[in-house]
Amino acid sequence: MKKILITRKLIKSSEELASKIFETKLNKKDDLLTKDELIKKSEDCDGILSSLTEKIDADVISKLSDKIKIISNFAVGFGNIDINAAKKRNIAVTNTPDVLTDATAEIAMLILLGAARRATEGIKAVHTKNWKWTADFLMGKQLTGSRLGILGMGRIGRAVAERARSFGMSIHYFNRSRLSKELEKDAIYHKSLESLLSVSDFFSINCPATEETKHIINKEAIKFFPDGAVISNSARGDMIDDEAMVEALKNGKIYSLGIDVYNGEPNIHPGYLVLPNVFVLPHLGSATKKTRTAMANLAVDNMKDFFQTGKCKNQVN
């Protein structure tokens, strides 16, 4: 029986599934493992079921036991793992696509709405009991009839587009390549990011985290937005240059920001916590029981398939 390290606590049923298939080392206290602890705890293991909270960089991978043959990431993203370093050591890296698409798209719409309709200010007013209704009380931005720019039209981006259509929004997008007519539907493709930004009354970040996308929304990019644009990010925190965004939120170039992800989680740029036009959630994109169970089970199945066949359809390197 193969032995695996599960770095973080999973839904109970998923841990039970893993324990039927593998000899498992569980993190019952759900403590965040340091790099040294991860290396030490995995010494006698054949695989690692990791989470986004672990940064498995080239240094960590170089120190892993030769027994390790697979790192199964409990996430659709895999920016926390140096996949090239893993490949050089013949370690497969897998992810959990598809199963979290709907849940993440729902959160993308929630933060877009929360930012547009001034939810942070509204919640504060309720808690302080310091409000009274007037005709112009907390007027926000309406999605209906507006243009939504989507950065990244993969599974999640297309799911966001589908939901946004029900709000009466017109869809624009920028992607590595243009979608087929069938997948594109009525969405308008832009050949450059700058072109997309220039028409984005609302803007949703849904692309994978890569070196190319780090701080893709920076001081220069922000200049291309229409004045008063609403931005949301449900992908990865490092897509946004925080200093540039805080400044744009202060001077009104950007009307509001909705974020479910941010640099340095759980730490956050202090500017986001004091600005009234920022709506923040603590990385809840996939946080439904149905989705988290499906993700964990898929991460387990990825390891099972790999050890049985030597390959896995969700391998990313």
Catalytic one of 158, 190, 236, 292: 236
Rounded to an integer, the average pLDDT of 70-78 is 93
* Count of H-run helices and E-run strands, the chain: 13, 12
Catalytic one of 155, 178, 215, 283: 283
**Residue 78, domain extent:** 3-98+288-309
Residue 293: C-alpha distances to residues 8, 15, 42, 98 (Å): 14, 10, 23, 13
Q: Residues of the chain with pLDDT > 70: what percent?
A: 100
Pairing of strands 23-25, 47-50: unpaired
Same domain? 163 vs 257: yes
* Residue 176 annotated as catalytic: no
CATH of the domain at 56: 3.40.50.720
Same domain? 54 vs 127: no
Sheet holding 229-233, edge to edge: 188-189, 170-174, 147-151, 202-205, 229-233, 254-259, 278-280
* Residue 236 annotated as catalytic: yes
What pLDDT is stored for residue 210 in this prediction? 85
Rounded to an integer, the average pLDDT of 243-262 is 98
Same domain? 13 vs 126: no
Rounded to an integer, the average pLDDT of 225-236 is 97
Query: Does residue 244 have a pLDDT over 90?
Result: yes
* Residue 165 annotated as catalytic: no
Query: Does residue 77 have a pLDDT over 90?
Result: no
What pLDDT is stored for residue 211 in this prediction? 85
Same domain? 155 vs 198: yes
What pLDDT is stored for residue 209 in this prediction? 83
Same domain? 259 vs 141: yes
Residue 112: C-alpha distances to residues 9, 20, 107, 229, 257 (Å): 30, 41, 8, 11, 8
Domain count of the fold of the chain: 2
Query: Does residue 27 have a pLDDT over 90?
Result: yes
What pLDDT is stored for residue 45 in this prediction? 97
Same domain? 132 vs 186: yes
- Contacts with 289 (C-beta within 8 Å, 6 or more apart), sequence order: 11
Same domain? 107 vs 80: no
Rounded to an integer, the average pLDDT of 259-276 is 95
Q: Is the sign of the CA dihedral 300, 301, 305, 308 positive or negative?
A: positive
What pLDDT is stored for residue 130 in this prediction? 87
Same domain? 211 vs 274: yes
8 Å CB contact between 104 and 152: no
Residue-wise pLDDT for 188-228, tens only, equals: 999 999 999 999 999 999 998 888 899 999 999 999 999 99
**Band of residue 129 on the pLDDT scale cut at 50, 70, 90:** very high
Residue-wise pLDDT for 269-287, tens only, equals: 999 999 999 999 999 999 9
What pLDDT is stored for residue 294 in this prediction? 97
Q: Is residue 315 part of a domain?
A: no
Q: Is residue 316 part of a domain?
A: no
Residue 198: C-alpha distances to residues 6, 224, 227 (Å): 45, 5, 10
Q: Is residue 249 part of a domain?
A: yes
Whole-structure pTM value: 0.90
What would the two tokens of residue 11 be?
A: 């839904």
